Every structure is written in structure tokens, then in C-alpha cells.
């Protein structure tokens, strides 16, 4: 979609958000890494989030699926969620500096050994996460060990900001495939050759299966389980979990998802992410239209690459 195809009000809102974000990115990149990350988190949570309507969306989602949260925790999350999003944004734009900070981290969990074994066997591998912590930390660190790690992305809702954001995510690892018929065909060819794909599967997909997430119906794409069964691929849930210093990460690789039915495998992935979000709710992007009950409401601005599996 081009800017001229948008309604005037939406075009103005997107452009203003784009200007704010671009100014923040340019300012932050001029600073040392240890300053730019917390500063960007602060600016996104205090400036961009109110402009984009994120606090309203966060409160709405929390009220829908986690109504027993204390008001003080809801208030904290309306700041913590965009703060993490801002940090993730500038980390991705930081390219080599971000990857250098990941180099010394030792991946942990049984899935790391499973990944090594699958790679040695030449099996395709799907690394599955959500918009949680810094999801690109996984792709960057695995690429250091094995070279190319593919990514599937959906162009941002903000058509202005999307123009340079795709270039930024390609710094983490290539190739990156745009969602769509051609991109999916290229991705399948890449995966079938025994390569590694990193994908996010935590967005609402209205043609998906009616699975559960936080006890509510969450329409979920089953593309990854279906492809895994077809290709005999290994599916590993994994997470780049931000630590208390706001700059470092744990890179956790869980047990591979057992091959069963696409629905059971999809639910396994939802349950895995839910457990991580419950432990660190401020690290998940609560602005997404994830649940059936709120899917039809006006969409908030979206800064993530949306590397979902909505084939």
C-alpha cells in the first residue's frame, strides 16, 4: 500500500509517528550503544506510544484476557511494553554493535542441542518465537554459528517507516522474505534445502485455527506445523529474554515440538509463549490484535517486522 491509498486521518497519524520514530532513531544512533538503547526505550514509551495510541490498546488487551491484574501493574505495563519495543527497535537498527553484544552469550536449553543435531542431519529447522524480548537476538546469534538464518516478515502498517525498516532487519541475517505468494515460495525453497528459518507466530490470523492463548480464542496460523510435517522439519520454540540491565539477554531454546497434528503443535507453541509472557509480561507486544473478541477494533500503530507464518 502506498501513502496516497490511506485515508487522510490515517495518513497524517502514520506520518507523524514516522517523523517521531525517525528522529529518535537518528538521535540514538549518534550516541554510544549503552546510552542509545535505554534512551530509545524511554522516548518510545513517553513520546511515540501516546501518539500511536498504544496505552489504550495495552489496557484493552490486558482487561480482556488478564482482568485480575492490579491497576498498578497495568500502569507499569503501559510503560514497560513500549519501552521494550523501543529498545528492540534501536537494537535492530544498531546492526553490528547489537550482534557484538550477543557474541559472548551462550545459548541455553535442550533446544540448542536439538538444533545442532538437526543441522548435522541436514534437516530443515524452524526457530519459533513471538514479539517478545528481542526476537531478533535469536536469529542474530544462530547466524553467528550457522551462517544464513532466514526470516519471514510482514511489511509494517506504517508505510512511511517501513521503507527503511526492512533494510534494518536484513542487517541481522539474510535472507528475509516478504509475506506473500512469491516470498512464501522462496522461503519454502530455502527451507526445503535444509536451512534455518526464524519466524514469529503470535499474531491474529482470521483464517487460522481457533486455538487458545491466555484462556481465550486466538486465531492462529498453522503454516509452521503444516510445513514442518511436510518437510520433516524440527520446530524449536526459542526466546531472547531481556535481562534486568535492559541491555543483555538470555537466549533460551526449549525442547522441540513433537510432531503430531498441526492443531496440537500450534497449541504447543501458544502455550510456550504464554508461559514466557506470564513470567515477563512487559516484554510482549500487547498492542497486537491477538484475540477474536478485539480483532475488529481500530488497529494501533505497529513497529515490529511481523515475521509471522500467515501463509
| Residue pLDDT, tens place only, 270-288 | 999 999 999 999 999 999 9
Given a cut of 90, whether residue 128 has pLDDT beyond it is yes
pLDDT category at 298 given cuts 50, 70, 90 is: very low
Q: What is the pLDDT of residue 307?
A: 40
- Segment holding 301, helix H or strand E: none
pLDDT category at 174 given cuts 50, 70, 90 is: confident
Q: What is the pLDDT of residue 302?
A: 41
Q: What is the pLDDT of residue 4?
A: 60
pLDDT category at 297 given cuts 50, 70, 90 is: very low
For residue 38, give every residue at least 6 positions away whose Cβ sits within 8 Å of its Cβ, in sequence order, or none: 87, 246, 247
Contact 105, 251 (CB under 8 A): yes
Q: What is the pLDDT of residue 6?
A: 62
CA 42 – CA 95 distance, rounded (Å): 20
- Average pLDDT of the chain to the nearest whole number: 89
Q: What is the pLDDT of residue 162?
A: 76
Q: What is the mean pLDDT of residues 5-16?
A: 72
Q: What is the pLDDT of residue 2?
A: 59
DSSP characters for 70-95? -HHHHHHHHHHHHHHHHHHHHHHHTT
Q: What is the mean pLDDT of residues 117-130?
A: 97
Contact 124, 189 (CB under 8 A): no
Peptide bond into 175 cis (omega under 30): yes
Given a cut of 70, whether residue 310 has pLDDT beyond it is no
Given a cut of 50, whether residue 308 has pLDDT beyond it is no
Among 18-27, 191-200, 251-260, where is mean pLDDT lowest? 18-27
Contact 254, 111 (CB under 8 A): yes
In percent, the amount of the chain with pLDDT more than 90 equals 70
CA 226 to chain centroid, in Å, comes to: 21
Q: What is the pLDDT of residue 167?
A: 81
Given a cut of 80, whether residue 293 has pLDDT beyond it is no
In percent, the amount of the chain with pLDDT more than 70 equals 91
Question: Residues 200-249: pLDDT tens digits?
Answer: 999 998 889 999 999 999 999 999 999 999 999 999 999 999 999 999 99
pLDDT category at 24 given cuts 50, 70, 90 is: confident
Of 3, 5, 10, 9, the residue nearest 301 (C-alpha): 10
* DSSP 8-class letter at 26: H
Question: Residues 64-119: pLDDT tens digits?
Answer: 999 999 999 999 999 999 999 999 999 999 999 999 999 999 999 999 999 999 99
Given a cut of 80, whether residue 14 has pLDDT beyond it is no
Q: What is the pLDDT of residue 165?
A: 79
Q: What is the pLDDT of residue 237?
A: 98
Amino acid at each position: 500500500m502506498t501513502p496516497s491509498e490511506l485515508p487522510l486521518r490515517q495518513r497524517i497519524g502514520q506520518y507523524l509517528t514516522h517523523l517521531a520514530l525517525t528522529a529518535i532513531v537518528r538521535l540514538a544512533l549518534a550516541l554510544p550503544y549503552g546510552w542509545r538503547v535505554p534512551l530509545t526505550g524511554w522516548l518510545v514509551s513517553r513520546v511515540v506510544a501516546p501518539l500511536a495510541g498504544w496505552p489504550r490498546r495495552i489496557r484493552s488487551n490486558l482487561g480482556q484476557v488478564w482482568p485480575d491484574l492490579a491497576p498498578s501493574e497495568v500502569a507499569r505495563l503501559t510503560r514497560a511494553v513500549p519501552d521494550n519495543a523501543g529498545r528492540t527497535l534501536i537494537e535492530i537498527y544498531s546492526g553490528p554493535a547489537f550482534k557484538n553484544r550477543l557474541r559472548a552469550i551462550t545459548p541455553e536449553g535442550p533446544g540448542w542441542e536439538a538444533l545442532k543435531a538437526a543441522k548435522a542431519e541436514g534437516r530443515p529447522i524452524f526457530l519459533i518465537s513471538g514479539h517478545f524480548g528481542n526476537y531478533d537476538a535469536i536469529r542474530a546469534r544462530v547466524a553467528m554459528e550457522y551462517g544464513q538464518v532466514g526470516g519471514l516478515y510482514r511489511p509494517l502498517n506504517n508505510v512511511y517507516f517501513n521503507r527503511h525498516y526492512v533494510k534494518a532487519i536484513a542487517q541481522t541475517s539474510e535472507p528475509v522474505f516478504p509475506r506473500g505468494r512469491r516470498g512464501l515460495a522462496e522461503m519454502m525453497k530455502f527451507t526445503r534445502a535444509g536451512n534455518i528459518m526464524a519466524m514469529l507466530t503470535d499474531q491474529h490470523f482470521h483464517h487460522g485455527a481457533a486455538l487458545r492463548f491466555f484462556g481465550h480464542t486466538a486465531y492462529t496460523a498453522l503454516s509452521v506445523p503444516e510445513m514442518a510435517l511436510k518437510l520433516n522439519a524440527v520446530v524449536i520454540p526459542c526466546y531472547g529474554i531481556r535481562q534486568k540491565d535492559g541491555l543483555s539477554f538470555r537466549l533460551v531454546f526449549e525442547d522441540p515440538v513433537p510432531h503430531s497434528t498441526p492443531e496440537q503443535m500450534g497449541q504447543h507453541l501458544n502455550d510456550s509463549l504464554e508461559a514466557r509472557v506470564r513470567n515477563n509480561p512487559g516484554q510482549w507486544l500487547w498492542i497486537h490484535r491477538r484475540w477474536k473478541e478485539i480483532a475488529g477494533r481500530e488497529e494501533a500503530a505497529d513497529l515490529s517486522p511481523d515475521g509471522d507464518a500467515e501463509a
